[in-house]
């Protein structure tokens, strides 16, 4: 028996670093939105726990979040059997897209099926939160959520009576540079006062308002330290993108467009450019809710 589970990436729609906590982490306020660029985790029954990966640069030992998730699930539910895991890596890592956390969440979902573990969603979230702050988000079905606290206190984002879905075509561009999250936090001065309500701003779907009020606190320091990220942002701003932003604390930059043709033209321009070298992913706008 071989089971598979997709592990989608996310973008941040605004990200405020509010304050440093006594435990050394930071309180943040952000809107997370799942996108359809995804890794895939596969599992087959085995005597022990092991992991292989399509990307040879990634660790496949205890430092990998997939194996951490597998061991913690097995410990929590006294699972005696094992699994041979394989990670098909497509989403760039250290890019602000949450791919490691999503891989861990997908592993938890996958192994609850393989091992027939009767784990509730809340139990999986508790395990996931010990692995990474974004893991609980990837365990939920809703496509978007406001994340506060360390990023693991979630409230589902709703608009017009249903779950919020990004109504604009999105082009994601990722240069081949990694950004360390711990380093990025050292570059930001936390600020908790006079911050816009991110949930209200996002749900307005007003792109001119987004340009004024929807900010990522990591953007300025990352752009200053990573010229290739700054170059990608400039390249996207030279297209017909109506809103451009860094995602998370990483290197990924995305642009939102009013028309699919403009997003496709921007992707073609990036691919033909001699000045930027990126992986790109184009995501269509969500269909209007019926």
Q: List the catalytic residue out of 39, 134, 152, 217.
A: 134
Q: Would you call 256 helix, strand, or coil by DSSP?
A: strand
Q: Which pairs from 253-256 meet CB under 8 Å and 24+ separation?
A: 253/172, 253/173, 253/174, 253/229, 254/11, 254/170, 254/171, 254/172, 254/173, 255/170, 255/171, 255/173, 256/166, 256/168, 256/169, 256/170, 256/207, 256/210
168 and 154 share one domain = no
Distance CA 212, CA 264 (A): 25
Say what the pLDDT of residue 161 is: 77
Taken in order 181, 186, 191, 195, is the CA torsion positive or negative? negative
Say what the pLDDT of residue 289 is: 52
Q: Which two tokens stand for residue 192?
A: 């908790």
Burial of 37 (0-12, 13-18, 19+ CB in 10 A): buried
Burial of 22 (0-12, 13-18, 19+ CB in 10 A): exposed
Instruction: Provide the domain limits for residue 70.
Output: 3-159
* Contact call for residues 35 and 170 (beta carbons, < 8 A): yes
Say what the pLDDT of residue 290 is: 47
Q: Which two tokens stand for residue 21?
A: 């906590």
**H helix intervals, the chain:** 65-76, 99-114, 121-129, 135-139, 181-186, 198-204, 207-213, 219-225, 227-237, 260-272
Domain count, the chain: 2
Of 102, 133, 159, at which residue does a domain stop?
Answer: 159
Distance CA 111, CA 41 (A): 10
Using the structure block, give the residue that is written with the tokens 């990634």. Answer: 58
**Is residue 289, in this structure, part of any structural domain at all?**
no
Residues 216-259: tens digit of each pLDDT:
999 999 999 999 999 999 999 999 999 999 999 999 999 999 99
CATH for 276: 3.30.70.890
* Contact call for residues 138 and 8 (beta carbons, < 8 A): yes
**Is residue 67, in this structure, part of any structural domain at all?**
yes
Say what the pLDDT of residue 180 is: 92
Residues 22-33: tens digit of each pLDDT:
988 899 999 999
Say what the pLDDT of residue 111 is: 98
Say what the pLDDT of residue 273 is: 85
63 is catalytic: no
CA terminus-to-terminus distance, the chain: 38
Say what the pLDDT of residue 288 is: 59
16 and 103 share one domain = yes
226 is catalytic: no
Using the structure block, give the residue that is written with the tokens 């400039």. Answer: 234
105 and 203 share one domain = no
Say what the pLDDT of residue 135 is: 97
26 and 107 share one domain = yes
Instruction: Determine how many CB atoms are found less than 10 A away from the CB of residue 6.
Output: 15
| DSSP tag of 216 | B
Of 132, 159, 186, at which residue does a domain stop?
Answer: 159
11 and 152 share one domain = yes
Of 131, 159, 187, at which residue does a domain stop?
Answer: 159
10 and 67 share one domain = yes
28 and 150 share one domain = yes
**Is residue 191, in this structure, part of any structural domain at all?**
yes
| Tens digit of pLDDT at every position of the chain (290 positions) | 899 999 999 999 999 999 999 988 899 999 999 999 999 999 999 999 999 999 999 999 999 999 999 999 999 999 999 999 999 999 998 899 999 999 999 999 999 999 999 999 999 999 999 999 999 999 999 999 999 999 989 999 988 778 999 999 999 999 999 899 999 999 999 999 999 999 999 999 999 999 999 999 999 999 999 999 999 999 999 999 999 999 999 999 999 999 999 999 999 999 988 878 889 999 999 865 54
């Amino acid at each position: 028996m071989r089971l598979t589970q997709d592990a989608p990436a996310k973008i941040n729609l605004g990200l405020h670093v509010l304050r440093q906590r006594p435990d050394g982490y930071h309180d943040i306020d952000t809107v997370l939105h799942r996108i359809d660029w995804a890794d895939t985790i596969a599992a087959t029954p085995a005597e022990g726990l092991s992991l292989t990966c399509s990307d040879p640069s990634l660790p496949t030992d205890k430092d990998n979040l997939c194996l951490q998730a597998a061991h913690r699930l097995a410990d929590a539910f006294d699972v005696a059997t094992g699994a041979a895991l394989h990670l098909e890596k497509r989403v760039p890592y250290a890019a602000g897209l949450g791919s490691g956390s999503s891989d861990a969440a997908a592993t938890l979902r996958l192994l609850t099926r393989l091992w027939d573990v009767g784990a509730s969603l809340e139990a999986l979230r508790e395990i996931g939160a010990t692995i990474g702050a974004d893991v609980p988000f990837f365990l939920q079905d809703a496509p978007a959520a406001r994340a506060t606290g360390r990023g693991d206190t979630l409230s589902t984002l709703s608009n017009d009576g249903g779950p919020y879905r990004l109504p604009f075509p999105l082009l994601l561009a990722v240069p081949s540079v990694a950004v360390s999250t711990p380093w990025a936090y050292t570059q930001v001065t936390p600020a908790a006062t006079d911050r816009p309500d991110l949930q209200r701003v996002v749900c307005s779907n007003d792109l001119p308002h987004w340009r004024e009020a929807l900010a990522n606190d990591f953007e300025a320091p990352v752009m200053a330290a990573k010229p290739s990220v700054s170059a990608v942002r400039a390249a996207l701003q030279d297209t017909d993108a109506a809103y451009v932003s860094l995602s998370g604390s990483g290197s990924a930059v995305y642009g939102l467009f009013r028309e699919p043709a403009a997003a496709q033209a921007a992707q073609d321009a990036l691919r033909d450019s001699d000045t930027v070298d990126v992986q790109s992913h184009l995501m269509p706008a969500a269909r209007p809710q019926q």
